A and B are shown apart, each in its own frame.
Chain A
Amino acid sequence: DAKTTQPPSMDCAEGRAANLPCNHSTISGNEYVYWYRQIHSQGPQYIIHGLKNNETNEMASLIITEDRKSSTLILPHATLRDTAVYYCIVRVENAGNMLTFGGGTRLMVKP
Chain B
Amino acid sequence: GAGVSQSPSNKVTEKGKDVELRCDPISGHTALYWYRQSLGQGLEFLIYFQGNSAPDKSGLPSDRFSAERTGGSVSTLTIQRTQQEDSAVYLCASSLARQAGGGTFFGPGTRLTVL
User: Which residues of B from 15 to 73 have beta carbons under 8 Å from A?
Assistant: 31, 33, 35, 42-45, 48, 50, 56
Q: How far is the CB of A94 from the nearest CB of chain B, in Å?
A: 5
Answer whether residue B1 sits at the interface, using C-beta atoms and an 8 A cutoff. Answer: no
Q: How far is the CA of A101 from the CA of B101 in the complex (A)?
A: 12
Give per-residue flags for A65-105: 1 if the beta carbon is below 8 A from chain B beta carbons, else 0.
00000000000000000000001010101101111111110
Which secondary structure characterizes the binding site on chain A? Answer: loop
A43 touches B107 (CB 8 A): yes
Q: Which residues of A contact B99 (CB under 8 A)?
A: 94, 97
Size of the B side of the interface (Cβ < 8 Å), in residues, is 26
A96 touches B101 (CB 8 A): no
Interface residues on A, range: 20 to 34
Q: How far is the CA of A14 from the CA of B51 in the complex (A)?
A: 44
A101: contacting residue among B4, B43, B50, B95, CB under 8 A: B43
Interface residues of A (CB under 8 A from B): 32, 34, 42-46, 48-49, 87, 89, 91, 93-94, 96-104
Interface residues of B (CB under 8 A from A): 4, 31, 33, 35, 42-45, 48, 50, 56, 91, 93, 95, 98-109
Give 5 A-B contacts (CB < 8 Å), ordered by A residue.
A42-B108, A43-B109, A93-B100, A97-B95, A98-B33
Q: Give 5 A-B pairs besides A32-B101, A34-B102, A93-B100 with Cβ atoms closer than 8 angstroms.
A: A43-B4, A46-B101, A46-B105, A87-B43, A97-B99
